[in-house]
Copies of this chain bind each other. A is one copy, B any other.
Amino acid sequence: MKALHFKANRIHAEFFDAVRQIPSLELDVVDEWESLSDEQLAGLIRQYDVLLLSRQPRVPDAIADDPGRLKYISYLHGGVSKAVGLPIIRSSIQVTNWGDRVAGEQALNSITLLLATVRDLHARIAGVRRGEKPGFRSVGEHVAELNIGVYGFGAVAREFVRLLEPFGATIRVYDPYAADIPVHCTRVDSLKALFETSRAIVIHAGLTPETKGSVTRELLALLPDHGIVINTARGAIVDQEALFDELRNGRLRAGLDVLWPDNLPGDHEARQWENLIWTCHRIKGSAWPDEGLAGILRPYRNSLENLEAFVKGQPLKWIIDEKRYESMT
């Protein structure tokens, strides 16, 4: 079988070394593809069984109707929509992404921001930098009294509540599409009920027309004073102007990896708000240097396992069907 990759700087060379170790799979890497037309790209892709795709180039939709040899696109990141169109998802070509590769890390980032926000680490760090000895008590003694409301209950949220379980918090979940909820969590049937009963809201919803702007000013007003909003999902889920009003006046606290739009001007006032920890959609970790090759390859494990399965004719994991595609961001 033949695999194709259009060279991208984001992917570690060690991944391709590992791909080349897979028996009966031959890999071609195309260095110069920026100047290729859509027709030329399609012509090239049709000669391969597998496409290992980074964020670029976008796969021509024409491949959907005339795939040639192509049976499988392994997208090496998460949200596939920038590189693969719906016609291809609807075609016979299988498309997978990195699967649960980041769920564990995102859940870790979410719990990190939650704990750091409860303990007001921004205010403490800023005070220390100014030469003070911040002596205040943060509101929130134990996580057990936190009453956490989790909005959206996909893979990241499941991992988040698994990590949180021994902390003893009362965890409520709102997600009308979640089939099952762990026994240590309680399901509520509206966002209003979630906000009414929570001191901290943790957002793990996907961005869809239904969730966009769904964390409204009215909902935020239901949180108690010193209440907390954690968002490592998508900024556009929140009415950001309303949240910023609540942060500016000091009533709420927030730990946000994401904003909408997903940046702030260098002189934006929110950067100085000590009740906000903003991690710039970059709260990521990497392997430890002393882990060597195992550390570098860990993030590619799902992709490598899928490639091996494909070569052996076994079923693939993390296939993007139309429903998953449309809830992706």
A323 within 8 A of partner (CB): no
| Closest Cβ–Cβ distance, residue A83 to chain B (whole Å) | 22
A284:B116 contact, CB within 8 angstroms: no
Q: Number of copies of this chain in the oligomer?
A: 2
- A141-158 interface bits toward B, Cβ cutoff 8 Å, 1 = contact, 0 = none: 111110000000000000
A199:B133 contact, CB within 8 angstroms: no
Residues of B within 8 A of A288 (CB): 139-140, 145, 199, 224, 226
How large, as a class, is the contact surface on chain A?
A: 35 or more
B289:A141 contact, CB within 8 angstroms: no
A312 within 8 A of partner (CB): no
A61 within 8 A of partner (CB): no
Of B111, B135, B145, which contacts A115 at CB under 8 A? B111
| Contacts A/B (CB < 8 Å), 10 sampled | A115-B115, A121-B125, A124-B277, A128-B271, A133-B263, A141-B285, A141-B287, A141-B298, A145-B295, A224-B290
Q: What residues make up the interface of A, taking CB atoms closer than 8 Å to B?
A: 104-105, 108-109, 111-112, 115-116, 118-119, 121-122, 124-126, 128-129, 131-145, 162-163, 165-167, 199, 224-226, 263, 266-267, 271-272, 277-280, 282-291, 295, 298-299
